[in-house]
Chain A
């Protein structure tokens, strides 16, 4: 008797389930439609449009007169573009390395019960919450030879002291880097701190029992365990770097000497709005897209897509 009821409900269950799952999937698909639609129309649509028009000679207005790869040939023969790429690579590598290392070291130091931790973290995050324009203005001032650090130190008596990174083509990128680090390090620190807090206390106990030195535990055990946090950080920081624009505009407008701190986003913007040569701008932005596709996406995809981490 009992077994027949069970069999009956069981059968009912298997009968009901496929339908239930089917309807649930339908509602899930409907729920996801607005997102997919907007993303498709704007990002995919806009991107394809840009790529298509990069093969035309569009000037002030987009028009479909094909010129093949002319725009790309021109792009890669432009000194300004080459400098932009070089600058972005330099800035990108430096800022990745420094924000991540400094953020991690700070997080390790922070990984104790310090007083007023929430307030402390809020302060560390403030630079990240301020726009790049404000960051740029503040640092442009601090690095100003007359009114900033150089001026202050000279005023204290060291008249030969020289610290003027923004007006020297050789050092202008370091100046940008300082402002970028100021903005990003606190943020990376908070991410890393979260990662450190997520590590099981038992691991530390085990390491202590085995007599492994603290630094070695960090390098050999903790950092490998924090892989997902590192990946998240790298992706967020890297995607910020590729779009680097506002900071340069606010601090140097691409100078000194006209080109010393140019970045690709600026090249695109100028060709589209100032030089009114849309085709060239499209070609440049297609190259930027391509570099994102080549560098970031397969890598991020492997890291995020392959594992349980979303």
Chain B
């Protein structure tokens, strides 16, 4: 955008860009390919592309050996649940900070953000003990709560940036027409900020989906999501690359697909609203 390029240079840069993209994507691609190979073929030297023994057995075995649907369902509940709960708390707060800023609003926002920089281990034991006492260990509700808390600062920050771009006059006008405060937030602000909210949701679903630290600390079997599922495959069974690849592919595929079909939201979400 900065400079107009000759068509030839444009093609060159495009080619270079795609080369970089391929390089970046290669490890993931390789993992997916490997997941369809037999174990000997997966570790064969030189690496096999076309001559490999293709099979679906890895998936069948991973499927049979562990309860994938349960892990998957746990991941969905935890990721979506924590995101929705976070939005319920964050939308009013972000509204307050964006449209009714006080003298302390900036400090408050900064403080919220700084909690995200805290090392999670600092609150690990207190949370662990609270969880034990309340019987929340290894429950989906517990993980929904924790991941909501961990991602709340980011949700609020992102919503705040999006809300700030909505002219306050529109809200004012709706209030003139007799909208109540909640009506204003739910019927005017939320629909207007929907693209931003969608990006925020997507980012948080991804963050919650990938969260490994808390899920490993706070779950054992019943509520364990897919991140714990991969971790369990990498440890005891030794290094079976093809099966490990299949397990990993099964864990990340939902995110890859979700990301592909919502590219705009993904880019905007993952860059924390910086891309408009």
Interface residue from B10, B43, B89 paired with A112 (Cβ < 8 Å): B10
Q: Is B21 among interface residues, defined by CB-CB distance under 8 A?
A: yes
Binds A, one of B56-64, B190-198, B249-257: B249-257
Closest 4 CB pairs of A and B: A46-B123, A31-B92, A131-B210, A28-B100
Residues of A within 8 A of B97 (CB): 32
Q: Are B212 and A39 in contact (CB under 8 A)?
A: no
Residue of B153, B270, B272 near A129 (CB, 8 A) is B270
User: What 13 additional pairs, Cβ within 8 angstroms, besides A35-B89, A122-B259, A201-B1?
Assistant: A27-B181, A28-B99, A35-B112, A39-B115, A113-B1, A133-B210, A152-B47, A190-B270, A190-B271, A194-B275, A194-B276, A235-B113, A245-B213
Chain B proximity of A127: nearest CB distance (Å): 6
- The answer for the CA separation of A235 and B275 in the assembled complex, in Å, is 17
Whole-angstrom distance between the Cβ of A53 and the nearest chain B Cβ = 8
Binary per-residue interface labels of chain A (249-285) against chain B in the complex, 1 for a CB within 8 Å, 0 otherwise: 0100000000000001100110011000010011001
> What number of B residues sit within 8 Å (CB to CB) of A?
94
Quick one: given A38-B149, A50-B125, are A197 and B181 in contact (CB under 8 Å)? no
State whether the Cβ of B267 lies closer than 8 Å to any Cβ in chain A.
Answer: yes
Q: Is B266 an interface residue (CB 8 A)?
A: yes
Task: Please state if A232 and B149 are interface contacts (CB–CB under 8 Å).
Answer: no
Bound complex: CA A133 to CA B229 (Å):
11
Given known A-B contacts A250-B234, A285-B119, A34 and B213 have beta carbons under 8 A apart: no
B18 part of interface (Cβ distance < 8 Å):
yes
Say yes or no: A42 contacts B123, CB within 8 Å: yes
Q: Check A194/B274 contact, CB under 8 A, given A31-B95, A32-B92, A155-B45.
A: yes
Complex contact B13–A297 (CB within 8 A): no
Question: Knowing A122-B266, A155-B45 touch, does A129 contact B2 (C-beta < 8 A)?
Answer: no
Selecting from A3-11, A70-78, A91-99, A286-294, the interface stretch reads: A286-294
Residue in A39, A45, A285, A297 whose beta carbon sits within 8 Å of that of B152 in the complex: A39
Number of interface residues of A (CB under 8 A): 104
CA of A50 to CA of B124 in the docked complex: distance in angstroms? 9
| A123-B24, A138-B31, A288-B121 given; A195·B274 CB < 8 A | yes
B36 located at the interface, meaning its Cβ lies under 8 Å from any Cβ of chain A in the complex: no
Nearest A-chain residue to B259, judged by Cβ:
A129
Q: Is A300 an interface residue (CB 8 A)?
A: yes
Contact B271 A28 (CB under 8 A): no
| Inter-chain contact A281/B267, CB cutoff 8 Å | no
- A-B contacts at CB below 8 angstroms, number: 275
**Contact with B114, one of A46, A246, A296 (Cβ below 8 angstroms):** A296
| Cβ proximity bits A1-40 to B, threshold 8 Å, 1 near / 0 not | 0000000000000000000000011011111101110110
Complex CA gap A243/B90 in Å reads 24
Q: Are B114 and A297 in contact (CB under 8 A)?
A: yes
Contacts of A38 in B (CB 8 A): 89, 149, 152
> Are A141 and B95 interface neighbours, CB within 8 A?
no
- Give every chain A residue within 8 A of B266 (Cβ-Cβ): 122, 125, 129
B173 within 8 A of A: no
Residues of B within 8 A of A264 (CB): 119
In the assembled complex, B107 has its CB within 8 A of some CB on chain A = yes
A243 to B122, CA, bound (A): 11
Majority SS at the chain A contact face: helix
Task: Please indicate which of the listed interface residues B89, B106, B119, B209 has the most CB atoms of chain A within 10 Å of its own CB.
Answer: B119
Interface check B160, CB cutoff 8 A: yes
Q: What chain A residues lie within 8 Å of B236 (beta carbons)?
A: none
Contact between B241 and A141 (Cβ–Cβ < 8 Å)? yes
Inter-chain contact A190/B263, CB cutoff 8 Å: no
Question: Does B118 interact with chain A (Cβ within 8 Å)?
Answer: yes
CB < 8 Å neighbour of A204 from B2, B20, B181? B2
- Which parts of A190-207 form the interface with B (CB within 8 Å)? 190-191, 193-197, 201, 204
Interface segment, one of A79-87, A103-111, A160-168: A103-111
Determine the distance from Cα of A45 to Cα of B256 in the docked complex, in whole angstroms: 37
Q: Can you report 8 residue pairs joining A to B where beta carbons are below 8 Å apart?
A: A27-B181, A127-B27, A138-B27, A194-B274, A204-B2, A243-B213, A265-B119, A305-B110
Q: Are B160 and A310 in contact (CB under 8 A)?
A: yes
Whether B141 is near chain A, meaning CB under 8 Å from some CB there, is: no
Alpha-carbon distance between A269 and B20 when the two chains are bound, in angstroms: 37
**Chain A CB within 8 A of B129 CB:** yes
Residue B170, interface by CB 8 Å: no
Q: Which of A100-150 contact B (CB under 8 A)?
A: 106, 109-115, 118-134, 137-139, 141-142, 146-147
User: Contacts A34-B92, A292-B119; is A50 near B270 (CB within 8 Å)?
Assistant: no
Asked if B114 and A118 sit within 8 Å, CB to CB, the answer is no
What residue in chain A is nearest B18 (Cβ atoms)?
A120
